Structure 1
Amino acid sequence: MRTILTICAAFLILSSQAFAAPKSDLWPIWDKSNESNSASFDHSHWQKILDKYLLEKGQHNLFNYNSVSPTDKALLSQYLTNLTALDPRNYSKAEQFAYWVNLYNALTVQLILDEYPVKSITKLGGFLSFGPWDDDVAKVAGQSLTLNDIEHRILRPIWNDSRIHYAVNCASLGCPNLATTAFSAHNSEALLEAAAKQFTNSNKGASIDGNTLTLSSIYDWYGVDFGSDEQEILKTIDRYRDGSKLEGWKGKIKYDYDWSLNQP
């Protein structure tokens, strides 16, 4: 009985913490590049998957996991195999950025497909885990990688760009949308700008109801990437908003996030 109570207590503690956002913590071995290499990665297989199964509906881009054929599951697997067989450090920094974003997003889709049907990505992972983010999901240049490694030990510390949070997708309705176009060295800036604009102007990014401003929990979890305090974070959000500006807000601020699967 004591063992069961101990396990239950641990589960309650984990649940109360919900999503503990990792800090940006550079993994130094990945902070290298070859700017003289003009070669590019082939993301065409990933684009085929996006074209076929990603649907734009209102403020959401929804992935039709239920309809993915065995052939296209194999195509996604082959894309990931091809991508992880290459060492991104041999390519330019611009190519690397697209590499890591596409790898993260494609791996996330594969994780959902492997366990589908599932109501939320938070249901994946080991016992007492809140999602699969600390599970080994790929091996690149002999190094085992988790999704958290890609986002918080590579992308965030190397590029220091808050818009990264609009680019990586966690297969949830509350998340910034999975882009309909695969990232590349040539379109990353445009896609980042479009993603930032789309999210900050959506209700899941920021919404006002009377005296209450509801922001995405992203601005709570990763607030340090958007500003040093609440008003600075609001100013950063305002850069992309078309409607009412948020800086100077004096009402109540709360945070929310919908972990439901991003499916039709």
Structure 2
Amino acid sequence: MKLILKFLIITITVSGLQSCALIGAAGLTSQGQPTKKVDGDLMSTTANSQVNVDHSEWDALLKKHVNKAGFVDYKGFKNDRAALDSYLNTLQSYKPNSNWSVQELLAYYINTYNAYTVDLILRNYPTNSIQDINGAFTNAFIPIDGSMLSLGSLENGVLRKMNEPRIHFAINCASYSCPKLLDEAYTAGKINEQLDLVTNEFINSDKNEISENAPKLSKIFSFYTKDFEPNLAEYINKYSDTKINPNAEITFKEYNWDLNEQ
């Protein structure tokens, strides 16, 4: 009986440690990254930061391998693997801290998420879906200032804590139902306009079926409803060409995880 009890205690302890590790990787912690909050209206500027990050390498790759619809030429990216590795090394050379502006942090984390998502796909290419990659969102493979982050921790533990819901339309999870991958790098000097652009495009795209009384929205709005408080319909109406009745019942579309390949 004592042996059985001891075994159960050990099993529960190990399971608990595994669960804690999974939670940390999936995104309930920032892994020590600075997470400044957007206070009021976000302004684009490079003038208020100790560091201005150079994203020109990523910008060139995006312009070359992403079309206006946001679909990705992964074969082309594979041929430019050295250039992508060079940009990833550039990202690793920076150490985000509290002396960076919120604009620089947002641009850095968004570009890091998107670049490492492309890296993940290339390391597992060909693949039909990011969901076919074991631990795609929970494995910690993104090095930032001595810490290893997962895509999940970068999104949920860092970006979502910055009080800027438009990040959901800027980060791209390599899937058809995701917001499109912008064909340029995010920068502090353009961040507000870029976030407005991708939010407008996504909300008014075929990823949603917006009507006055029976809107059917992307499941992104179901996954992250609390980020669009106090009222989801009110948030949508700020950008949508068609306005949703405040009392309308909102339903959600199925999510298509097929690879967003050209």
Q: TM-score, normalised by structure 2?
A: 0.79
Q: Is this contact kept in 2: 1:220–1:255, CA < 8 A?
A: no
**Structure 2 unmatched runs, 5+:** 1-22, 37-46
Cα deviation for residue 193 of structure 1 reads 0.3
Q: What RMSD in Å do the two structures reach over aligned CA positions?
A: 2.5
Higher RCO (CA < 8 A, seq sep 6+):
2
Matched residues in 2 for 1:138 and 1:114: separation?
14
After superposition, the C-alpha distances for 1:137-192 in whole angstroms (9 at most, x for unaligned) are 222111111111111111111x2111110111101110111111101111110010
1:161 is matched with 164
Matched residues in 2 for 1:147 and 1:24: separation?
8
Q: Which one of the candidate residues 256, 259, 262 is aligned to 1:261?
A: 259
Cα deviation for residue 251 of structure 1 reads 5.1
1:141 is matched with 145
Relative to its length, the structure with more strand (as a share) is: 1
- Residue 173 of structure 1: SS of its match in structure 2? coil
**Does residue 51 of the first structure (1) align with residue 55 of the second (2)?**
no
**Does residue 110 of the first structure (1) align with residue 108 of the second (2)?**
no
**Structure 1 unmatched runs, 5+:** 1-19, 127-131
After superposition, the C-alpha distances for 1:51-84 in whole angstroms (9 at most, x for unaligned) are 111012xxx31001123343x1111111111211
Relative to structure 1, the CA distance from residue 238 to residue 211 in structure 2 (aligned partners, 3 Å threshold; closer, same or farther) is closer
Return the index of the structure with the highest Cα Rg. Answer: 2
After superposition, the C-alpha distances for 1:193-239 in whole angstroms (9 at most, x for unaligned) are 0011001101203345x9753210011010000124xxx20111111
Q: Is this contact kept in 1: 2:137–2:152, CA < 8 A?
A: yes
2:75 is matched with 66
**Does residue 220 of the first structure (1) align with residue 229 of the second (2)?**
no
- Residue 256 of structure 2: SS of its match in structure 1? coil
Q: Which one of the candidate residues 196, 201, 212 is aligned to 1:198?
A: 201
One-letter identity of the residue aligned with 1:226: F
Matched residues in 1 for 2:213 and 2:193: separation?
34
Q: Is this contact kept in 1: 2:210–2:244, CA < 8 A?
A: no
Q: How does 1:1-264 map to 2 (within 5 A)?
A: 25=28, 27=30, 29-31=32-34, 37-56=49-68, 60-70=69-79, 72-89=80-97, 91-126=100-135, 132-157=136-161, 159-208=162-211, 212-228=214-230, 232-242=231-241, 244-248=242-246, 250=248, 253-264=251-262
One-letter identity of the residue aligned with 1:214: K
After superposition, the C-alpha distances for 1:6-44 in whole angstroms (9 at most, x for unaligned) are xxxxxxxxxxxxxx9x997453832378x9644311111
Q: Is this contact kept in 2: 1:213–1:251, CA < 8 A?
A: yes
Q: TM-score, normalised by structure 1?
A: 0.78
